[in-house]
Structures are given as structure tokens and as C-alpha cells.
Amino acid sequence: MIRKRILTGDRPTGKLHLGHYVGSLANRAKLQDEYETYILIADVQALTDNFAHPEKVRENVREVLLDNLAVGIDPEKATFHIQSMIPETAELTVFFANLVTVSRLERNPTVKDEIAQRGFNKSLPLGFFMYPVSQAADIAVVRANLVPVGADQIPHVEQTREIVREFNRVYGGNIFPEPEALLGKVKRLAGTDGGAKMSKSLGNVIYLSDDAEEVKSKVMAMYTDPTRIHPNDPGHVEGNPVFEYHKAFNKNQAEVRDLEERYQKGKVGDVEVKERLALALNEFLDPIREKRCEYESKGPKYLDEILLEGTKKARQVTQETLKMVRSAMKIDYF
Amino acid sequence: MIRKRILTGDRPTGKLHLGHYVGSLANRAKLQDEYETYILIADVQALTDNFAHPEKVRENVREVLLDNLAVGIDPEKATFHIQSMIPETAELTVFFANLVTVSRLERNPTVKDEIAQRGFNKSLPLGFFMYPVSQAADIAVVRANLVPVGADQIPHVEQTREIVREFNRVYGGNIFPEPEALLGKVKRLAGTDGGAKMSKSLGNVIYLSDDAEEVKSKVMAMYTDPTRIHPNDPGHVEGNPVFEYHKAFNKNQAEVRDLEERYQKGKVGDVEVKERLALALNEFLDPIREKRCEYESKGPKYLDEILLEGTKKARQVTQETLKMVRSAMKIDYF
């Protein structure tokens, strides 16, 4: 019985944070035994909006690997691979580009948001515009069944499903399964500033690699309930990121319910709720920090070896896929 | 002293015709000693508007090679290579996509015309929209200096120049020369129907592989001067494809001048002018037919060997290019 495959990954543009954890990393760690797991370091995609700053991408390739290892993903189980070292993905991207229209890409809501956020507008680079097609190729080239992702990635998985469906319709061969998205238990983690999304570029982030002091100071500065002026005013728990984090990361959910109750009655101050959160987050992060140390101490050569071996292993699958693709597309001439 | 490089090629969507000859093939044959010549069988590009009919592309790969050999291109001198077998081109296409904007691509006049001609409009596939970027990669991946092409390809060479200039500016490394377009002696050969361009899809074409009878019957049915009702009416030579072909292909230019003079005075009938053209064209095509026979008689294995060997040779260059590209882009991690 062949195990089903997971494909997911990270853009190496910075260290990973709590939002990545709840969105995708937790599921990766949880499912690595059940699924054959492929984790992509998406450097080519990172270049679509960092093409003039490749050094930033380069610096973060090993950081992102370390973040994955630190949360308990086992390099003996998961296959870490580097996008730019998989030429089959570029080839499949070019073939997939024939199966999606320009106007369909224009309708992708995540890309629309990101274009606005980056101020691309009329100077929109083709690479950024078409990155969902590349991402479809990332998923399809390992013939993945499941994609653990955050909510903003749902439109891309849907785009992937459409493209592989079209490929199967036009060329037959039934090469690609239609991948399913798997959302984390928190759909979208708010930023420390109360913004809708934790995002490095917004500076509202707690990193998996932050030390205990950094976490405490970020938590103490967090946005809470703006309608609450005094500690004995009744407070709001909904839409309050401090409570959102408590619910997501505090192992003692009885404590969380107690804090919520007292907060709504005006019987606990923000300071105490935040101090408890800092403690809970650090308790959550401690084993992650420990594992990071463990892997860091093995040295950069060890990390490189994981990436090299993983990429080599992934290419066995991707080359097999392209062989099937060429045959289905009738371009296997010799 | 390193010879400069030529890159040019053909989409394997049908047999080549007289328009291809004057636009590009004549220059290829003429320059194959002076330049290191790479000739691309552009199957991936052919798929951008034939993606649902890959068998058509497949059938024409060897046809297009034969047409090139027939006009005297020596497989020992020129390197024939198959686009889909050069993964470096796909990789470079993806990198180049970051260096060109969507709005810049929208301004390409040739693509605009072609979109209208194919009725793509709102269902425009991304692959077709972005094929000039792929074409830039075709040229750049062998670091070509010169591109012998027809007039409709000028915007694509200009797009290539812009992209490689931007690559050189952003990443340095000075990897890519800015390629020049080389136009044939006839900028754009009219169709047999008097249309602006000889084009298979318009059915106004004389193929290099047409036999003497086919050529004669196509010539006798050609569009001439619509204002001329009787053989003794003075006729127009300008814009008259029969005379355009005489000028382009008749070895006896004294005969052509004599016919022109008599035509303008109403002293020669269309039938005679066309009969002379049929003779001249067949005289021009006879050695091409002979060479085609010669190569055909060597059998399909011989042709496959040319393509396989050429692709292998081309990949030495393209792999070298991508190595330099990765280094300039700082994604040569290990």
C-alpha cells in the first residue's frame, strides 16, 4: 500500500513564526508518519518579489530548514528539497502555463491582495503574476495528494486542482491527483498588533526562534481590547489576539477559560493575562528551542547534507513525473 | 578567437515555405561557416497554441529538420536542438519572468496581432501571452549574438534585449550579449493570394517540399494585378506577388526586368509571367528537392541522431549558462 503524499513548503525570505506553525508546520509534524512528506524550500518563488535581493533568499534557506527541524519534523521522514534545484518544476510550469488563462490568474484573490500590498500595480512582474502556476507545478511535480497550508493559500490549491484537472482532460494519462488543502486548527493567526495576519513585513510577528525575553516583551506590548480603559472594565475576548494566542498555544486550557471569564467580568488585568501568555508561549517554544540548538550544533554541513540528499530524493519523483508528462504530451520523441 | 553565435529556429507545426526561406533559412545557410549556429526545433513554443494537439507538433519535428537540411544547412556545422529537451530554457524562462512586467508583454505588437488572429481574447492562455519570454530564454540560454528572423520577430528580439539588459543590470555577471536581429533580404514575403504574409494557416503558401506540379498549379492560380482586365492593359508590378517572387527567386534578373517592362506596357500576359515564375521557382527548388531526397534516403534513425547529438551538444552550452546564472543570482548554494 503506497502512502499518500504531502507537499508543502516555505519561502526562504525570513525566519518562520507562530502563524506558520498553526497554519502548516503543526500538521506537517503530525502527519509525517502517515504521509510521504515533501517540504519545499521555495527559493524561486521567493525571488518573484525579491528578485533584486537574492542574498536575502540565500541567507534564509538554512534558517527555514532549521525552523522545520526545530518543530519536530524528522529529516529521515520528510524530504526537504530546494525549488531552484528541481528543473522539472520549471519545465512543468511552462507546460501548465498553456492550461490557464491570463484572466483566470487576474481573479486570484490572494495575488490581488499581495499585488496591492507590494504596490506592484502597473509594474507587476510576470513572475509574480504567474507564481500560482509555479506553485501548482511544485505540488504536481511530486504528485501530491495533500497540501497543509494557511487560509491565504486556498486559492492557490484550488488553482492547482483546476490545472491538473485540465491536464488530465487534455492529455489523459491520469498522472496527477487533485490535491486537497489541509487547513491548520487556527485558520489565520492575528498579528501581535491585532492585524488580521501575522506577517513579517508588518512587524507583528513572534518567531519560533525568538528567545524567552523577546517573546515576553512582544507579548507585553500586544494589542488587546481597545474599549477597555481600566482593569476592572469588562473586556472582550473575541478578536482579542492575546486570547487567540492563549487558545492556540496554552497547554492549560482550563486556565484559559478561567482568564476569559474573569476578563469578561473585569476581574483580571491585561498585564496578568499577558504574563500568563508569555509563560505559556515560552513553555510551548522551549522544546522547539532545544531541538533547534541540537540541530544547530551539528553544524552547517549537516544541514546542507539534508538539503542535498532531500533534493536528490525528490528528483527521483520529479523526473519520473516528467517522463510521464512527456509521454502523455507526446513529446517523448526518442 | 571565439566565433559569435547564431540562434534561430522553427516551430514544428508544419512544413517550411518560401517565406521562411527568405526570412531566415537563406541567412542560416549563408552564415553557418562564419557563426557557431544553433537551430532550435521550438516544440514547446509550438505547444503554446497547439497544446490540445501535440500529435501535430510531434509529426513535424523531423519535417522541419529535413527542410533545414534541404536548403543546405550542414548538420556537421549547425547544431539542431529540441526545445523540450533543454530544461535550462524552462529554468531561465522562470527567472526571466521576474524581469519583465505584465504590461510590457501586453504591448508586444506581434503577440497582439496573433491573439486577434487566433481569437484568443479573454481566453488567452498564459503560455501564449508569455511566449516572448520563453523565446528570450531560447536565445539567451545559448548566449547568442545574432538572430536571423522574419520582420514579425523583431519585437521579440527587442524584448530579449531588454530582458538580458535587465538581468545584467540586476545580477551583474555580464553573462548575456544583447542579441541583434538579422532580417532576410525580403522583409516579409506576400502570400500567393496577395496577402501581406505567406502563412500556412491562410493557405497561401508554397512549401519548400512542394513538387514541380504543385508549384506550377499554385503559381498559375496566384493573385496578380486586379486592375488589369485584358493582357494588353498596362499592369502594376508593385504589390504584385508574382513579380515579388520573380525578384526574390528568379536567377535571371535580366528576364525579370524585361517582364516588368513589358507588363507595365501591356505587352505580356499574366499567363506567360506566371509560367516563367513557375519555371524559375522550380529551378530554385530543384537542388533543395534533391538534397531532401538525399537526407530522406538515409532514414529516420539518421535524422534522430542529428537531433539527439545536437541537443546533447547544445546542452553543454545551456548547462554552462545556467551555472553562471545561478552564481550571479546567488542561488548556487553548495
Q: Which pLDDT score is estimated for B235?
A: 92
* H or E element, residue A161: helix A154-171
Taking 50 as the pLDDT cut, the residues of chain A under it are: none
**pLDDT tens, residue by residue, B36-80:** 999 999 999 999 989 999 999 999 999 999 999 999 999 999 999
Q: What is the pLDDT of residue B118?
A: 84
If you average pLDDT over residues B251-261, what whole number do you get?
97
| Average pLDDT, integer, range B7-34 | 96
Say what the pLDDT of residue B43 is: 96
Would you state the torsion angle of the CA atoms of residues B79, B83, B87, B93, taken in this order, to the nearest 10 degrees?
110
Residue environment code for B136-145, b if the CB has 16+ CB neighbours within 10 A, otherwise e: bbbbbbbbbb
**What's the confidence (pLDDT) of residue B60?**
95
Rounded to whole angstroms, how far apart are CA atoms A189 and A191?
Answer: 7
Q: Do B43 and A331 touch (CB under 8 A)?
A: yes
Please name each of the domains of chain B with its CATH number: 5-190+299-328 (3.40.50.620), 210-292 (1.10.240.10)
> Which residues are paired to A41 by β-bridges?
A10, A82
pLDDT band for B229, please (50, 70, 90 cuts).
Answer: confident
Nearest to A44, CA basis, from A12, A102, A98, A84:
A84
Q: Which of residues 182-201 of A touch B (CB under 8 A)?
A: none
Cell of B78: 549547425
Query: Which residues in A250-263 are b (16+ Cβ under 10 Å) and which e?
Result: beeeeebeebbeeb
Decide: B86 and B315 in contact? Cβ < 8 Å: yes
**Predicted pLDDT at A1:** 65
**Quick one: closest CA in A to B129, which residue?**
A102
Give me the residue label for grid cell 482568564. Answer: A259
A295: three-class secondary structure by DSSP: helix
| The overall pTM is greater than 0.90 | yes
Q: Can you give the pLDDT at residue B230? A: 85
In chain B, the residue whose alpha carbon lies closest to the alpha carbon of A61 is B333
Work out the pLDDT band at B232, boundaries 50, 70, 90: confident
Å from A281 to nearest chain B CA?
A: 34
| Burial label, A291 (beta-carbon count in 10 A; 0-12, 13-18, 19+) | middle
> What integer pLDDT is reported at residue A224 of this predicted model?
92
Say yes or no: ipTM exceeds 0.85: yes
Which set of grid coordinates corresponds to residue A7? Answer: 507537499
What whole-number percentage of chain B has pLDDT above 70? 99
Provide the CA A45 distance to its chain's centre, in angstroms: 13
B77-119 tens-digit pLDDT: 999 999 999 999 999 999 999 999 999 999 999 888 888 888 8
The pLDDT of residue B133 is: 97
* Alpha helices by DSSP H, chain B: 18-20, 26-31, 43-48, 54-70, 87-96, 102-106, 109-118, 126-129, 131-141, 154-171, 212-220, 241-249, 253-264, 270-296, 300-328
Cα of A137 to nearest chain B Cα, Å:
12
Checking if the pLDDT of B1 tops 70, the result is no
Give yes or no for A249 touching B (CB within 8 A). Answer: no
Chain centre distance of CA A18: 10
CB contact under 8 A, A100 and B126: yes
User: How high is the pLDDT of residue B185?
Assistant: 86
Output the average pLDDT for chain B.
95
Instruction: For strands A146-149 and A79-82, give the pairing.
Output: unpaired
